[in-house]
Amino acid sequence: MEISFLTVLISVASLIVMAVPGFLLAKFKMLPEKASEALSAVVLYGCQPLLVFMSFQSYEYSPEIGLNMLIVLGLSVAVHFIMIGIAVLAFRKKEDARNKTMRYASVFANCGFMGIPFLSMLFSGRPEAGEIMIYASVVIAVFNVLNWTVGVFFMTGDFKNISLKKVLLNPVLIAVVLGFIVFITLKKPIVDLAEQGTALHSVLSKIVASFDYLADAVTPLSMIVIGIKLAKIKIKQLFLDVGAYVAALFKLVIMSLVSILVVAFLPVSPAVKYAVFLLLSMPSATSTALFALVFGGDADFSSVCVLLSTLLSVISLPLMFLLMNGVFGVAV
């Protein structure tokens, strides 16, 4: 079964539906003030690292997979730096907080909070699912390194604010490194180290199952956080800010086109192409608002950029997918 335009549309819409509980709970003031921050911490420091680590446990290692991971690494870096150059040129006239936010929101995608859940839903039950999740972990690793270096510089305009410690101790990056080491060392899932029917296999299966349950929580928790944030933004503010539309245009259309042009003509597997294209076509990263808050940027405008691009991605992702398949003939 090939992935269709309608499948992508339903997958994106289904993710947005998961944001409804968070939106309603926040609107009816049934959540504490810092609920979104607390849930974000659970996702970022608990569930998401486990999801990344467990992605390596869904597939057996092969030299081809190892080579493809390096290709994904290179492609992700290439797309990011092309887009960084475009954003620098497009938003170079002013260095105010608003312009810095637009520059950041144009480049950095929500590949962790929304991208991974989206891929999980889109490729659920398909034989390519495990392989694509491995490549997705590589994209996320690239995102985290660039986010805490180039991203910080975008928001602050000062290299002094870049912390090597925060880059190296990022929980998702650590999960990628550990997952990869286990992956290439064992060359098979941990649960397969013991024979079926043995006590050790039963113990390993239960431990792995508990990790999977926590990893699966990324999808609903991430979207609930987005719903909570959406409830705090006035509708007028969300849909009438021209700057937010400009940032969304760069992130959802221009970066998607760059991703398509970079991957479409390469003689690599469709799984590699889709992992890079789909993750980097996600809406603006939630860290846009976090960085604006931490580094003294325009926190309200940054939240609008994130939420508007998230809503518009319901339209942009299926259309960009259709373009990639229809024009460039990329298909799984």
The most confident of 74-88, 110-124, 225-239, 312-326, by mean pLDDT: 74-88
Mean pLDDT of 231-247: 87
Give the Cα-Cα-Cα angle 120, 122, 125 (nearest 5 degrees). 75
Mean pLDDT of 320-331: 76
Query: In terms of Cα–Cα distance, which of 47, 104, 6, 50 is closest to 314?
Result: 6
Sorted by sequence, the CB contacts under 8 Å of residue 280 that are 6+ apart come out as 76, 79, 80, 109, 111, 139, 255, 256, 259
Tokens for 137, please give them.
């972990």
**Position 225 in a domain:** yes
**Position 35 in a domain:** no
Mean pLDDT of 216-245: 86
Query: In terms of Cα–Cα distance, which of 180, 204, 176, 161 is closest to 297?
Result: 161
Query: Which pLDDT value is given to residue 280?
Result: 96
Tokens for 181, please give them.
């080491």
- Parent domain of 111: 5-28+40-328
Residue 243 has pLDDT above 60, yes or no: yes
**What does 222-246 look like in DSSP terms, one character per residue?**
HHHHHHHHHHTS-HHHHHS-HHHHH
- Contact between residue 183 and residue 61 where contact means Cβ atoms under 8 Å apart: yes
Sorted by sequence, the CB contacts under 8 Å of residue 297 that are 6+ apart come out as 97, 100, 101, 155, 291
CATH of the domain at 163: 1.20.1530
Our count of domains for the chain comes to: 1
Burial class (CB in 10 A: 0-12, 13-18, 19+), 210: exposed
Q: What pLDDT digit, counting tens, does each position of 63-86 carry? A: 999 999 999 999 999 999 999 999
Residue 13 has pLDDT above 80, yes or no: yes
Share of the chain above pLDDT 90, in %: 41
**Position 143 in a domain:** yes
Residue 331 has pLDDT above 60, yes or no: no
Residue 21: band (very low, low, confident or very high) from pLDDT cuts 50, 70, 90: very high
Query: Which pLDDT value is given to residue 256?
Result: 96
Residue 304 has pLDDT above 80, yes or no: yes
Tokens for 288, please give them.
């846009």
**Position 34 in a domain:** no
| φ, ψ (nearest 5 deg) of residue 23 | -60, -50
**Position 33 in a domain:** no
Q: What pLDDT digit, counting tens, does each position of 152-202 carry? A: 999 888 878 788 888 888 888 899 999 999 999 988 888 888 888 899 889
Beta-carbon count within 10 A of 86 CB? 17
